[in-house]
Structure 1
Amino acid sequence: MNTYVALFRGINVGGNCTLPMKELVAILEEIGAQNVRTYIQSGNAVFKSTERNLAHLSMQLSAEIKKRRGFEPHVNILTLEALAKAVADNPFPETVIDPGSLHLGFLSASPKNPDLDKLSALKKDTERFHLADNVFYLHAPEGVGRSKLAANSERLLGVSMTDRNWRTVCKIMATAEL
């Protein structure tokens, strides 16, 4: 049995694409997941499964949500090992004292031609970023809401991305290790 983390994009934000966490747990259990736990309403789930094909699992989960709720969210499923590696490889360890300023963008695939020059041109003097494997690390001490870098990173990386702040990543990691 493998431990996985499902990161949903755009659910339960601003009253749109609502999916109660109890229903998400039920959906995951119906597709064979076990020991399902969720963290906050924005769509983070930890579960165990015998399935090894993460793309298939993601598509199956999205399709089931569409069937039940009428929308098909992007779901990025990570192994526990991939999440642990993302945490361990944090290039900005000094920022963890302000966990809301550090964001990890979990990419659906490795970017083939990321436009790092344009990303650099968009960043404020206070911002920093680092791309490693399938994770885009962004330190935005003034907040991502005002950041042109944050607003354009997915487009300039060329792959879909699901973002979580450091606090949430650590909480998900702790939930997964229970």
Structure 2
Amino acid sequence: MSDKTVYILLFRGVGGKTQLPTAPLREALSAAGFENVATYINSGNAVVRTSLGRDEVISSVAQICRDKFGFTKAIHAPTLEEWTDLIAKNPFPHAVAVPKFLHAAVLAEGPAEESIEAVQAFAADGEGFAVIGKVAYIHTPDGFGTSKLAEKFDRLIGVENTARNWNSVLKLRDLAEKAASG
């Protein structure tokens, strides 16, 4: 096994007016020396393999995105191991049956207990919300777009974050595993 780490790059706030085109992003990351670069849908997801540490990866990728694409928002970079752990710790295993209604939000740091309680207060009957380490799990069985919990989450959680639905979570794991073995 190599001494290289696979990182899943999660770009916050891509979509709408903020674009990060996948093919040029792959090319720029590869040109910068990242290996086994892959992107997933045009909503701010990439996978890279490198011997760099997380801080160096984020710094390098942030500079590429700023210089080439004018993108200046936050970038999160969990490792494949951390991502696998995120999947394993899902507190709503029944929710994976309809993966578009289950989201995992990667948090920059653990939120304050008061922030967790403030978000939880907006959970409707049947909805689920839990924070495990630096991941918030949000289950909205009636739809993410219609949920007060989902609407209030970003403002109330109190820490920088970026969320992906469970379909994306699993696809990014698959891409990361492929990058690790390739």
Give the TM-score normalised by the residue count of structure 2: 0.89
Q: 2 CA distance for matches of 1:35 and 1:69?
A: 21
Q: How far 1:113 sits from its partner (Å)? A: 4.7
What one-letter code is carried by the residue in structure 2 that aligns with 1:7? L
1:30 is the counterpart of 2:31: yes
What one-letter code is carried by the residue in structure 2 that aligns with 1:146? T
> Aligned runs of 1:58-97 on 2, under 5 Å?
58-97=58-97
Superposition RMSD in Å: 1.5
Aligned equivalent of 2:132: 132
- Residue 109 of structure 1 aligns to a residue whose secondary structure is coil
Q: Which runs of 4+ in 1 moved over 3 A?
A: none
Q: Check 1:64–1:159 CA distance in 2 against 1; reply closer, same or farther (3 A cut).
A: same
Q: 2 CA distance for matches of 1:113 and 1:92?
A: 20
Q: Does structure 1 retain, via aligned residues, the 8 Å contact 2:21–2:42?
A: yes
> Percent identity, aligned pairs only?
36
Aligned equivalent of 2:145: 145
What one-letter code is carried by the residue in structure 1 that aligns with 2:146? R
Moved more, 86-95 or 139-148: 139-148
The partner residue of 1:5 within 1, 4, 8 is 8
Point out where structure 1 has 5 or more consecutive residues left out of the alignment. none
Q: Does structure 2 retain, via aligned residues, the 8 Å contact 1:107–1:134?
A: yes
Q: Check 1:171–1:144 CA distance in 2 against 1; reply closer, same or farther (3 A cut).
A: same
Q: Does structure 1 retain, via aligned residues, the 8 Å contact 2:95–2:101?
A: yes
Q: Does structure 1 retain, via aligned residues, the 8 Å contact 2:20–2:71?
A: no
Give per-residue Cα distances to partners, 1:77-130, cap 9 Å, x unaligned: 010010000000111111111111110001122224542222222111121111
> Aligned runs of 1:43-62 on 2, under 5 Å?
43-52=44-53, 54-62=54-62
Q: 2 CA distance for matches of 1:99 and 1:20?
A: 25
Q: Check 1:110–1:56 CA distance in 2 against 1; reply closer, same or farther (3 A cut).
A: farther
Q: 1 CA distance for matches of 2:177 and 2:127?
A: 31
